[in-house]
Structure 1
Amino acid sequence: MMEITSKTTKEELIKQGHCAKQCGHCCTRSSGIVLPHEVKRIANHLKMNEEEFKNRLLEPHERFHTTHYRIKQKRRHPNISGACTFLELTGKCKIHYAKPLYCKITTCQEHGHDAVIWFDLQHFVNPEDPQSIREWAEYLQHGKTIKGGELHQLVPHRQKLKWMLDYGDLQVTSDEIAKRLKKELREND
């Protein structure tokens, strides 16, 4: 099994994520994330316009202060995750040839969890957004990451990271951090 890091390419992950069984088991308990640039392709595959696709089959999904879409689930109970809307009774994916990257890489293969972390780092965690970094820091207290996903690797400037993690000042923006850094550099010269 290859080691997945934040530098692993999308193409390498797609190759690793190929599921020979294609049994649909992964899709029975969750559904995939759809990135903005994937909406049109999937809508076209379904012969729908983008708005109809978003309204009928997608729902907003936020992680780490970033929102994308998630495919709606077929739920038997509102508080329990359900199967993906596109999972057919045969166990096959209705949108297999147009499915989103998330579904291609986060299969039941042994690297699946690391692929989810990679996806989060690439598409949800925003190193320029203090709230995103704070939420990632919260996750890291109990969750694992991959190489390149540690806080000091995402935000290498220690002072900037310290300011981002300052929960006492939740209104710190990237612009304010930049101003503080410039001021600190002038004072240290």
Structure 2
Amino acid sequence: MDSRFPTYYLNDRRVLRLPPEHFRLFVLANAWAVSNMTDGAVTREDLYLIPFADESGPEVLVQQGLWAPAPDGWVISDFLKIQTSAAKLEAALENRREADRARQRRKREGDKPLDNQPSRDSHVTVEGKEEAEAEAEAEERLSTKAVPQERKASKEIRPAPVRSSRPLRSFPDCSTPGCDGKLNQQALDAGRDCCADCVWNERVAS
């Protein structure tokens, strides 16, 4: 629900002469009355429920003819000529609620299966269903058996690693007394009879 601010207010001297704070009260009071469905009535107790309202505002609006005094407060002049009445708002809300209820009913009825509506598998006989189930079970058994056989075959086809049959060469022992090292190919090529550790020790000692 929305309040209306007609364009002729821009040419209405009563509205144009209002100070800014009272103009604000006039606009917000219309919106508040529509929202609370008071048909333009503003009681003294409800005055301060309107944002930025003060005690001087109603007197100024009454002087300009935009509000009229009432026994328990004030009434916005020409409210029912411009804004929607509470009765019409309530009727519109009730129509909306009834439309929502009808839409929910249609949705629930659409979700329910009809008794005379054939199912997708109504044309399939009992014998046909049994045959289809038996074929599905047979295919499942074949698929479970085929997997281990394929894995076994893959293991059999895998070639064994090739190892060299060439014997490892044995190098002679170091001739230095107390050393249990071995000569390497480099020592043999150089004509030495001691290992690399003994050569290093001799160089350090010298």
TM bracket (short chain): under 0.3
Q: Bigger relative contact order, structure 1 or 2, given CA contacts below 8 A and separation 6+?
A: 1
TM-score norm. by structure 1 comes to 0.24
The structure where helix makes up a greater share of residues is 2
The structure where strand makes up a greater share of residues is 1
TM-score norm. by structure 2 comes to 0.23
* Larger-Rg structure: 2
